[in-house]
Structure 1
């Protein structure tokens, strides 16, 4: 390959459906990047909360420093330790999977409840194996965190450029909440990757990612519109799914960094 793809951006999303953190490097683990979607908000019925019903969640911005996560929302801030939790397990569904999680602390749960206007808890997944997800595509069961399905989402730059040529209002890759963005030359070439090596880290491509209405939420405004899902559905619909980006699992752990080249 004359111009092999390389990593141009890395993101983690510590709390499911909240804002992400742009990283220069990240530790790839079985359940996802370190500290990626290990936390989420649940309601009074122990159902997870997402931008699908609450687009305002995109306005909560995390930062990680000194073993703590600080959340900023409309000028308000609150902090909790990465390591802390209340030792009382809660069983929650994440789509078709059951997961065992633990509330972080009452103070941070009350803070989120006050900000959102309804009662909720901030919970975390702790142990590998506390949530398992079976891949129908591979007929293999994986240990995952609190992402919708798979631990990693990869998007190629040309896929976004190709979409933006069709849109009246251009969008950024933030709409798709990728973990890894790579510099590519062909739109959607990432769909067809198999085993991906990045330094000492090895990923396996599972399947292209089916997208939902969440990609229509502008994370800067928290307003759900019709695009880009409407346009994507015209040329990226397969069966009942609209595809953009591809899902990965990590089979050899290690550090990946911006600028790293992919090999196959």
Structure 2
């Protein structure tokens, strides 16, 4: 079986629900609209499902002119895709400072009412300068929006099947791919081949698979309900598997774009890993 892209996913607002796509524009900073917004506290520190699982229940959509957020009670927030004319302000993600454009008081009030605490909504500025890990990439310069650290996360269905087999052997519930919040999901490659490969290539695509993704508490959260079904899983099971050298719970590969920015990726697109 020739490996191919089986699904594509974006998460317009960091830590909120995702959108499943059949095709997506690849930009130099990842898939279009992926993690271009972030919710922060009043000091600019980002919010995450790690400490607020309810974030998973806010559903985003994107139309021709708006980012749209839907709350569980059916209320909607509409945000223009046109950037606001404001000066950039501070955003802090895992201790690293970058800049964001505040989307204004109406968005802030809508989200503050939902979270029952004062928050702001910010977006990536046009002249985004947030660099991807220079210590990992060396001379190669790449940028990302409000993702944890890298513009793309690549995962594999056969790797998920191997993990689910281990979970089932331990009489634990199996889990869907949504727990890992990937951007590009591959099918048809051997399990965990992504960790033994340096590149993912296609007809006009070249991604550098540059770092195994060490997983966190978000993988324990049901991405539909915001609830934790089995505390500590699948992290505990991942830590018993040896597909990445060293201690830790790893699943998926962080990636940066080497070639293909400006092109569309689509499901069914043949790819190879080397």
On whether the aligned pair clears a TM of 0.5, the verdict is: yes
The offset of 1:47, in angstroms, is 0.4
- The reply on whether 1:213 has 2:232 as its aligned counterpart is no
Structure (1 or 2) with the greater strand fraction: 1
- The reply on whether 1:241 has 2:245 as its aligned counterpart is no
* Aligned-partner Cα distance in 1 for 2:192–2:272: 17
- Aligned pairs for 1:137-152 (under 5 A) are 137-140=136-139, 141-152=141-152
- The reply on whether 1:262 has 2:271 as its aligned counterpart is yes
Equivalent in 153, 172, 175 of residue 171 of structure 1: 175
Cα gap change, 1:221/1:208 in structure 2, threshold over 3 Å: closer, same or farther? same
Equivalent in 182, 199, 220 of residue 186 of structure 2: 182
Query: Match of 1:134?
Result: 133
The offset of 1:83, in angstroms, is 1.3
Q: TM-score, normalised by structure 2?
A: 0.91
- Per-residue CA deviations over 1:188-213 (Å, capped at 9, x if unaligned) read 11112222222222211111111111
Mind listing any 5+ residue stretches in structure 2 that lack a counterpart? Answer: none
Mind listing any 5+ residue stretches in structure 1 that lack a counterpart? Answer: none
Cα gap change, 1:63/1:182 in structure 2, threshold over 3 Å: closer, same or farther? same
- Per-residue CA deviations over 1:78-119 (Å, capped at 9, x if unaligned) read 111111324121122222432111111211111000001000
* Aligned-partner Cα distance in 2 for 1:86–1:53: 31
- Per-residue CA deviations over 1:25-47 (Å, capped at 9, x if unaligned) read 11111111111001000002210
Q: TM-score, normalised by structure 1?
A: 0.94
The offset of 1:185, in angstroms, is 4.0
Equivalent in 33, 37, 44 of residue 46 of structure 1: 44
Query: Match of 2:257?
Result: 250
Query: Match of 1:105?
Result: 104
Query: Match of 1:204?
Result: 208
Instruction: Provide the aligned length of Structure 1 versus Structure 2.
Output: 262
What is the aligned-residue RMSD (CA, Å)?
1.6
* Aligned-partner Cα distance in 2 for 1:232–1:240: 10
The offset of 1:135, in angstroms, is 4.1
Cα gap change, 1:128/1:258 in structure 2, threshold over 3 Å: closer, same or farther? farther
Give the match's secondary structure for 1:166: helix
* Aligned-partner Cα distance in 2 for 1:164–1:67: 40
- Per-residue CA deviations over 1:131-160 (Å, capped at 9, x if unaligned) read 112243332442111100100001111110
The offset of 1:240, in angstroms, is 4.6
